[in-house]
Each structure stands twice: as structure tokens, then as C-alpha cells.
Structure 1
């Protein structure tokens, strides 16, 4: 109840505003425009702030929503309420067609791509005859309920703000779910997300469509608010302004979209109203001052105004402790009678003329800890990437429990019970330790986006969080469970990655330099944990440079040098091997 109290207060306040005696109609119009902008910015919060996909073309999706209802109501006499699903559907279909191409882009090509189709669609709206060309479509009927017609700004006000509140609730529910964690993981790149079963193209397309549908909803409301639709509000400048709103409010925060819309819309209106009087009617000055003020605002709050305000509140929202008595079922996997869990035979990886892994062969047996060692550049991490599907082998054979994983994507490899950590930590820094670890259990949940938005996933979600909490306790980080991952030390972040990997319930655990950054006692606890995992039936393949740690822990050691295996055997034999001493350990060994 305490978490919902601010929302209840905000809802009551917004409901009362139009009922205040003597309130100027201009204020209501301003609030209507804020609500319409907030809907588009809310989609950008999910798309850009959470998913890491920058889009300057969201105004075009507003155009799809507005023109769909304009055509259906004026040319075919369809009821405005019946055009709502049609407007959302058209916006969604347009997002699918554009998103299939757009979400595959990365780096600066992605925003450039959205600018390109945003400008293209703006000119398309202005050239099509049935859309009224540059003049657009007028005479759009108002929304009505029975005999009550929403002809004025204060009557459509409630429709706009109900849409804002419902959209905010659905968006927050989506983010607080298995699907939401997958979307948030996208911002740190696709490699870590895919290693735990996230279908990144699907997740990117989902968030792209969701943002477009919210923009289409805004366009539908705009058309019935203005009673007309023309291309002007759906151009590139409007798209840039919507992105400004999301960034100013706080690109990763749902209520930041509402706050950002309020700041930008009000600031713009004030400057347009008063600057001409101050500077004697000089045109375009408001645009210059508007830009300067936004830059100053972002200097004060670089992450956005909403998180800046929240950080100064005297209280923090309480988090619900996961019920660790809830259990997840063990994933169904093929079992084999062979003691060999991982079989690598003449694996080779060549980048042009560089051979990173040169016909390497070795096995990992059940209940065994195998160390993969060698100097920097020996091909250890590349071998890990070949096993987990991040890279495809040039030649050779890699099999897990007899099943070949040649050219299999990471999402398929993890289903076989292979999980991993990374040489360079890949956590989402602004997510809590619990949320980061829960990403590892992604494949062990089943709830989709729709059930998450409607809050039908709570049983599934509780089990996933309980599993994450158990693994955090297992690695000894229970005290940090609610801390942001980015606030932890490097050593603690590596331990969090191990907990995330354990959430897969793996048969084979691949650890890439797990002891780097750990103090002596932390290394001892990690070694004890790995022995416990081995004794419990799990196999471990680790890359590590701390030879004391490796020699005390590993059952068997494989040594690489310039991509070639030069030795394999028990730790005692490796210590005495002259080739290993020459290449890696040194004469002092």
C-alpha cells in the first residue's frame, strides 16, 4: 500500500484539477498537451532509456494513430471508439515493418535510421491525397459517451490522463518482470543477455512495437482533441522534442516521462508567451533560450530530473524480500551415460590470417574442475566463446553430453545446461544485485509480456526472484542483495556474475577469471564454493591467472600458448612440465 500511495495521491490531484472553480481553460489545454507528450515519452523511456535503442522518429507513429482515426471517422463514419484498436494496430504493424530493419542497426546507424524513416513518413503524410496532403483532414468527430461529447479541453482531459495513468501502470508492470529484466539487459550489449537465453532481436522488436503503440495512442487522442490532423506535428522536429522530454525527465524512469513532458511543455509555452515582449518581438529567440535552459538543466541533473528528485527524498521505497521457500523446477535436459560432459575435438578459430584457437582438443568430465591456463592472448576466452556459441568455430567439433553445438547460438547452448561468466564483467549497473542475478533464471520462467503487464505473472516472478535470492545467499552476498550492481567492488561484481550463472542450474559452469579482484579470504570462499558445486554434481571449467588458486583447486589443467594446447594433466605434472615452465610459469615455478 505504501508503494501505491504516491500514485493514488497523484491520481486524485489530477482528477480534482478541472473541478477547481475559476481555473483558466489555458491551464487545462496545457495539461492535455503534457499528457499527450508524456505518452510518447513513456514509450521512449522503454525504448531508449531502458532498451538502449535511440529513436528520433516516434512522432511518425503518432501520425499513424491520428490519420487512421481521421480517415475511418470522416470517410467511413466509424465510431471514434472503434477506431482506437485500428489506430493501435496500424501503429503496431508499421513498427513491425520498420523495426525488423531498424533494430538490427547498432551504434550511430540506429538513430540515423530512425531520422531517415521519420522524415520519409512525414513527407509521405503530406503527399497522399486521401490524407489531405499538407492541409490534412478536418472535421474529425469528438469522443463521446452516450450523449456526453468531449468537445472542450476540460472534457477530453480525463480521457487523456486515464490513458497516461493506465499506460504508466502497464509499463511499470512490464519492467518489473522477467521480460522487463531481459529488456533492461539489452543496454549492456547482447552477449550477456543471449548467454542466459534472451532472444535479443525479439526483445528489441517488442520494445520497439510497444513504444510505437503508445505513440499511436497519443496520436489517436490528439486527433480527437484537435478535431483535425495534418503532417506538421508528426515531423522530425517533434520526434527530437519527444526524445528531449524523455532525457530531461529521466530516460530510464516511467514517471520521468510525465515530469519531463511537464517541464518541456510548460517551459516552451512560457518562453513563447513572454520572450517576444522582453526582446521586442524578435523571432526564434525562444528556441535559442529553450535550448540553453535544457542544457543547463541537464548539467544540474545529467541522469534526468526525476532520479535527481528521488535521490533527495528523505525516504527510500521499501523492497519486498523474496520468499526463498518457493522453488523452481529443475529444467528438463537430456542426460547421457557417458562420463564426458564436454568434448572438444580439434576446435579451430581463425580471424583472417590470425589463428586464435589452433586445433585444440580436451574433455571435461562430470564432477570435475578443469582449469584452462596460458599467457595473455593464448586463446582461452576465445575457446570459452566457441563453447558458448558467442563465436562459431572455423572447424572442429564441440559437444555437450554427446550433442554437437556446432554453430548453435548462445540461447540454444544455455538450454543444454552450460552457463558462464565473462572476462570483463557484464552486469547492468543501475539494476540491483537481485535483478541482475534473476536474469540468469530467464529460461526457467514462462510468463510473457502481456501477462506481465496485466500482473498475471506474480507466481512465476516470485519463484524466479526466490531462486535468485538463494543463489545470492549461496555466494555470500545477501547483505548486498538490494544494492545497485554498479556500486559494488570489481571482486563483488564477479561473485554476482557467478550467482547469475548458477541461476541457470547448469551442468557445466564456465568461469572466466573469477578470482580477479578478490582478496585472499574471498578467494578461499570461492574455492570452497566451487568444490561444493563439484561435489554436488556440477562440472567447472575456469580460466584463471592466479596459479596458487588454480593449483590448489583444479583436478586437471589444460595449457594453451598462442592458441595451441601444449600440455594437459594433473596440477603436479603441469608444474614440472618444461614446455609450460618456458611458456607461462617461468623458471621460478
Structure 2
């Protein structure tokens, strides 16, 4: 997919170069200028809505901030429009940080409603401030010049605008194929899993919100100097809805969907404004009705947008494996053999009047595989979630390597060296197996968004990919690196999830039914992996219904029944217990 995006970037550059020198009428150059302005806003919405799953109707407000900031600065101070750009970006960044910090804590329909309120508020603020010219706006905004050349109109503006669009598209492509990009791609469907891998999901949502706002602000800066004036009309809620419409129709999950949507919407709007009055015999904004019908049709038959048709037909060559000579990632110090790693002390979880886990206690030592077994509904997975911070304790305490971790967030617990899999596989289906596993190494990298967008993270990326490949080969999935994760059967998905957990270099590994869906030989290979991990000093807490695997690899077992502690001991002791046979393994014949 990455190579397809880069081929698309090359094709776009070639097309733009041809247009720049072709004898096109000024009308079409003007149209392409506006399409470029819209594309910048839509690129931000691809990140915000398509990648992070956050719906915003307020992007036009950020366009307005960029436009008004540069207009006011250049008209009232005489400073260069390029300083106006910096002023707009600064104001937009602070505004987005404040608005995002408040609204992104909301979920469901509250977030779109909050962005509508934000957009309306800013629109009426711009319309009523004397300093901004109220509804008349600001006139006489100077054009842009670069190295002494006027680029504020025509082909000069076309070249500048699309140069910025290409740079923005390249930056977004690089971002999505990076450590922070993988974390961002997990936000829409895998927030809980991402937090368990150490990702601060709220922080990344805010970062995406700010990036989308800054792209909109750049569009507003260009617009102000292209129009030589600004007024509130283009920055209202109607335009915010239109930006979202463009992105959804083009393909909200695709970089090139942003440009496709802007192109088709602008051309369709212009043609409908001429065609519809001729057909109906009266003038009016009837194109909005057509846009609504088009949106319904696209959502019904092409929910991923028009670009999904192109993407489904593009070849997806495997990622270039350029990390063979990359340095190995540093590994954490493992606790010494026999050292107490996990001490679970009388933990309890109540859901209303239901007691799911009732005062469970057990200890796990370094280099030990501890099995947590019991019939369905015994509370095993709930116990896992309490240990890893996905659920809050009602009472009790969890101590890891001498430090109390109960009450901490799951990402903070992951940072201390605890990694896990899930009872129901959690993954990002449209990412490759390699990318899914590399997400597990999130805490072992440090490069951020700026490094990713500028390509300065290359060395770290090679290290992360090398580690992801190593862990996949360890679980027997070395041949599936470039397979799309959603195409895997259940068994390989579970092995991929184990590899992802191992990628974090854990001191304690929690595996929730890892053998479910595996064939006999895959189970044997899994048992070998677990023994190897034990020999390397990794402690393992295992929930599993396959008793052959449990009895084969576990050193100690804890048996639960209806959320209570039934008994514990060695596998031989548990097998000989009449209470266990009656409750779980079957009555003695």
C-alpha cells in the first residue's frame, strides 16, 4: 500500500508538471487552485476521520483562523505574508490544542456536536468583531511573493499551492508508515489494544486534531492572499460540512481520496450551478440536494469512497525489506530466576451486584509458567484485565517486581514490562501482519510525529521492523510478513498477537487462550516457544482451555470457579484433585 501511495505521488507530480506548462485556459487554472486549497483541508480530515475515526464539522473554522490571522497581520503591521502564515499556525495550534483537549475526551455523537458548536462560535465571533471587519471582512490583503516573484495569482499560485499539497501528502504518507502512524491507525478500531501496547491514545488523538487544523490553516492563508480579501462566509458550518463531504466521497481512509474528493466536488459543483437552473428553469442552491443524494449513494454502495475502487485494483508489492543489517533494539533486564515477579493480593471485581472475581490471590516467580484455569465464566479473563489495568479493582492489590501497579492505566503497566494477548483477537485488519506486530514495539521507539513526517526516523523504523520480523519468525509466521492481517485465519491471528506481545520485550507475558483455533502442529510449536521464553527468563501467566498444552508447559496452576480460588498446585496435584475433576475436568470414573 505504501508503494502504491508513493507511485500515486509520482504520478501526481508528473500531471501537475504537465498542467503547469500546458496552454490551459485561466478558468481551469483557477479551478485547480481552489481544488488544491480544498485538498489541504481534506488531507487533514483523512487523518482525523479516516484514520482516527473522529468526525469533525469544524475544519472550516480553522481555515478561517489562518485566513484572518494573515490578513490582520499584513494589513495592520505591514509584515510579510510569510510571517502572517506563522501567526496563523501559532493561533491555530493553540486553538486546536484547547478545543481538542476538551472535545476529544467525548465519544459518540458528542464529538461531532462539539465541533459544530466550535465552528458556529468562531463564525459568529469573526462576524461580529470590529477588528475583523464584521460581516464585510478585511479588504486589500496583499498577494504572495517568493524570491521577489509575484505568485499570488494564476500559474504562480498554482505552482505554490500544489507544491504545498504534494509536500503535505508526502508528509502524511510518511507519517502513516511510522511508529506514531501505526499508533494512529489503531485509534479507530483498536483503542483498548493500543493502550495495552503502551500507546497514549488521547495524546495521539489530540496530535491528529492539531495536524488537521494546521493543514486547514495553511489553506486559509493561501486563500486570503489569493482572494486579496477575507469575510466570514467561506468559514461557516456549510463549508465545514462540504469539506467532510469531499473527503467521504473521495475516500476518507485514503490520502489520494482527499484530492479525488476535492477534485470531483469542485467540478461537479460548478457544472451543477450551470446545468440545474437550465433544467429546472429557476436559480437556487439546488446542487446541495444533488450532493446529498450522491453522499447517500456513495455511503450505500462505496462506504470507503471512490478511491477504494482504485486502491482495490492497484498492485500491492511487499515492503522493501531493508532492515537486515539494522542494529538490534536494546532489551530490558529480566528479573533473576526465582525472583517474585507478580503478587496478586486478594483482588476483587464487582459489576453492580455481580462479583466476577472474589478475593483471588496468587504469586508468579521469574522463569515460571503459571496457568490460570477454570470452566467458562470462572473469571479468568477478568482477572487478566485487572492485572493489566484494563479494568479497575474494586479492592485488593497487584504488585509487579516490588511495585504496586493496581490503579495505574494499562499503558503505564505496559511500560513497566507487562504485555498481553486478548481472549478475542485484537488487531488492525487493514494493516499488514508485520505492521501489526511492530505496533507491539511502540514503547521501544522514541521518534515522534515530526521525525516521521520529515523522514528522520528511518533508522529506528528499520530496527522496529527487524524486531517485528524476528518475533514473527519465532512463532512460525515468517512467511506471512506482508499478508493483510484481516485475511488471516483465527489460528495465525493468535500467533500474530503473541508475536506482537513479544515485540515489547516483556518481563511478564499474559496469554489469554493462545491455543484457540490452532492446529495440532501449531500447538506443539507454541509449546516450544513458551518453553524457550521461560528459559530466557520471561515469566508467563497463561489462561487456556487446552488441558494437554496446560499440563505440558505449566509449572504451577491456579484453578478458579465462579470467580473464586478453588485450589492451586503443580499440574500433577491439580489432576489428582477430586474437586478439580468435579468442577472442571469431569468427575472421576
- CA 1:146–1:412 in structure 2 vs 1: closer, same or farther (change >3 Å)? closer
Structure 2: how far apart are the matches of 1:379 and 1:152? 68
Task: Look up the match of 2:159.
Answer: 158
Q: 1:466 to 1:557 in 2, by over 3 A?
A: same
Q: What does 1:122-201 align with in structure 2 at a 5 Å threshold?
A: 122-145=123-146, 147-201=148-202
Deviations 1:225-275 (A, max 9, x none): 111111111111111111122212221211211111111111111111212
Residue by residue over 1:523-558, the C-alpha shift from the partner in whole angstroms, topping out at 9 and shown as x without a partner, is: 222122212211222121111122233222322111
Deviation, structure 1 residue 300: 4.4
Cα distance in 2 for partners of 1:2, 1:307 equals 16
Q: Which residue does the alignment assign to 2:71?
A: 70
For the structure 1 residues 565 and 439, does the alpha-carbon distance in structure 2 shift closer, same or farther, using more than 3 Å as the test?
Answer: same
Distance (Å, rounded) in 2 between the aligned partners of 1:519 and 1:69: 64
Q: How does 1:478-489 map to 2 (within 5 A)?
A: 478-489=478-489
Q: 1:82-481 maps to which residues of 2 (within 5 A)?
A: 82-145=83-146, 147-313=148-314, 315-333=315-333, 335=335, 339-481=339-481
Query: 1:355 deviation in Å?
Result: 1.9
Contact preservation (8 Å) 1:336, 1:402: no
Cα distance in 2, alignment partners of residues 9 and 193 from structure 1: 35
- Structure 1 position 14 matched with structure 2 position 16: yes
**Aligned partners of 1:5 and 1:332: how far apart in 2?**
40
Distance 1:318 1:439 in 2: 18
Do 1:70 and 1:137's aligned partners in 2 also have CA atoms closer than 8 Å? yes
- Greater shift in the superposed pair: 409-418 or 428-437: 409-418
2:526: which partner in 1? 526
Q: Show the counterpart of 1:540.
A: 540
Q: How big is the shift at 1:281?
A: 2.2
Q: What number of residue pairs does the alignment pair up? A: 587
Deviation at 1:416, TM superposition (A): 2.3
Which of 320-329 and 418-427 deviates more?
A: 320-329
Deviation at 1:467, TM superposition (A): 0.2
Unaligned runs of 5+ in 2: none
What SS is found at the alignment partner of 1:40?
helix
Shift of 1:57: 0.8
C-alpha displacement of 1:386: 1.5
Distance 2:139 2:376 in 1: 69
TM-score normalised by the chain length of structure 2: 0.96
Query: By how many angstroms is 1:44 displaced?
Result: 0.7
Q: State the match for 2:49 in structure 1.
A: 48
* TM-superposition CA deviations, 1:88-116 (whole Å, max 9, x none): 11111110010110111112222121112
Q: Give unpaired runs (5+ residues) of structure 1.
A: none
Deviations 1:271-326 (A, max 9, x none): 1121211221253332222322333344443212223112223x334421252443
The Cα offsets for residues 490-542 of structure 1, whole Å up to 9 and x where unpaired, read as 22111110000000111211001111122222222212221221122212111
Shift of the alpha carbon at 1:5?
5.1
Task: Determine the C-alpha separation between the residues in 1 that align with 2:371 and 2:521.
Answer: 20
Change (3 A) 1:514 1:338: closer
CA distance in 2, matches of 1:194, 1:6: 33
TM-score, with length taken from structure 1: 0.96
